[in-house]
Amino acid sequence: MRIEGYMKIQPNGRYRLFGEEGSCELTCGDCLEVRIEDSWVTMRLEHDGERYYLLNDGLSFYPKRVYARLNDNVTRF
């Protein structure tokens, strides 16, 4: 599955990725690539007991909306 578009937080607290290919609800442990300036950064979705957030070595944040892509060949870390 490949979806590229905006990842937005939903009223249920989970993120959903919306793209031309369709949409997909994301959950803890899902790996995706996030667009940061002119590059793609591989990140993992995690949950802190209250909210979901994105995590990478040395970087974590709680986005309300971010451009991302979910691709079957993204390596889990």
Q: What is the pLDDT of residues 27-69, one digit of tens each?
A: 999 999 999 999 999 999 999 999 999 999 888 888 889 999 9
2 has a pLDDT exceeding 60: yes
Model confidence band, residue 77 (pLDDT cutoffs 50, 70, 90):
low
Domain ranges of the chain: 2-71
| CA distance to 44, 59, 72, per residue, from 11 (Å) | 21, 25, 26
pLDDT score at 32: 92
Model confidence band, residue 17 (pLDDT cutoffs 50, 70, 90):
very high
* Joined tokens for residue 73: 């060949």
- Its pTM stands at 0.82
Q: What top-level class would CATH report for the domain 2-71?
A: mainly beta
